Amino acid sequence: MLSGVWIPLITPFKDGRIDFASYRRLIEHYVAHGVSALFPLGTTGEAPTLDDDEVDEIVAATVEVAAGRLPTFVGVGGNDTRKVIKTLRRLERHDFAGIVSVCPYYSRPSQDGMRQHFSAIADATDRQILIYNIPYRTSVNLGNDTLLRLAERRNIVGVKDSSGSIAQSLELLATKPAGFSVLTGEDGLYFTMMCNGADGGILAAAHLATERFVEIGRLIAANDLAAARATWSSLRSFIPKLFQEANPMPIKHCLWRQGLIASPECRLPLTSISGGLAQELDSWLATAKAA
């Protein structure tokens, strides 16, 4: 059963190249702060800007540093089913637990097309598969009926749910089968979804104040909702600032300010955050450090 707080790792860059010293430092940091799994090569990791060699290097470095202490789920998705399977087979020489695979974007397939897409991926591997449903990025929404059919497959074990519809998410939580994990990908709804039975969250915002996100999950599991709500209140107003400009630019700025990465650099077409947002984030970091 997949659960807890997962980190969709950023990819640190310096002078145009991956900064592996910073990357390894980040992984050690999150291992020490009690997260449940690592997810490299997602959108937060700027995966579309990485070439094949860099993808292989990121997977190898993640598995090496995690060293069995945390499971690694690698982002392997796309809108060409054959290419997704080819990439997965290329990466399977690395010892990672599974993949997070986004719904096919841009081409806007039907529900049956998405069902066949994920079924083909499941047939091609023994690794665990977590489906990633995020319509505002892909322009297609994987319906609950289709998802629950896919959940019948042995190695499709969960979903990163960023459907954008609270009604759809709550219906999924009410109807999901035993052993199928629902991890919210909506950072601002983490508390709400956990209170309604989600198994955890894959949260870009948890790059920061990581221990608070982990603690919220622990408190809700212990049915201490008052304490969980109090902890959540310290994060609620900050989370939107991390997505006020394109992710992961604000997160990289904060990690840089904290000394966890050497540079806030992103790859084009992403650039850097505005001066106004930088001041707001710096103020929050100073307050959080003093607290």
Which residue is catalytic, options 23, 30, 160, 252?
160
Mean pLDDT, rounded, for 174-186: 97
Asked if 152 and 122 count as a contact pair (C-beta separation under 8 A), the reply is no
pLDDT of residue 290: 57
The domain of 192 spans 4-221
pLDDT of residue 97: 97
Asked if 158 and 181 count as a contact pair (C-beta separation under 8 A), the reply is yes
Planar angle of CA 161, 166, 172, nearest 5 degrees: 55
What phi and psi values does residue 166 have, to the nearest 5 degrees? -60, -40
In a domain? residue 290: no
Which domain CATH number covers 159? 3.20.20.70
Determine whether 86 is an active site residue.
Answer: no
Which residues are registered as beta bridge partners of 37? 6
In a domain? residue 237: no
In a domain? residue 251: no
Confidence of residue 291 (pLDDT cuts 50, 70, 90): low
Determine whether 14 is an active site residue.
Answer: no
In a domain? residue 97: yes
Which residues are registered as beta bridge partners of 18? 13
Question: Looking at the chain, how many residues does it have?
Answer: 291
Give the count of domains, the chain.
1
Confidence of residue 287 (pLDDT cuts 50, 70, 90): confident
Structural Rg of the chain based on CA atoms: 18
113-158 pLDDT per residue, tens: 999 999 999 999 999 999 999 999 999 999 999 999 999 999 999 9
pLDDT of residue 288: 80
Residue 159, sorted as left (phi over 0), alpha (psi -120 to 50) or beta, turns out to be beta
35-67 pLDDT per residue, tens: 999 999 999 999 999 999 999 999 999 999 999
pLDDT of residue 269: 97
Helices (H) and strands (E) in the chain, counts: 13, 10
Which residue is catalytic, options 132, 176, 190, 252?
132
In a domain? residue 226: no
In a domain? residue 236: no
pLDDT of residue 62: 98
Single-letter amino acid code for the residue at 66:
A
**Read out DSSP for 194-242?**
HHTT--EEE-GGGGSSHHHHHHHHHHHHTT-HHHHHHHHHHHHTTHHHH
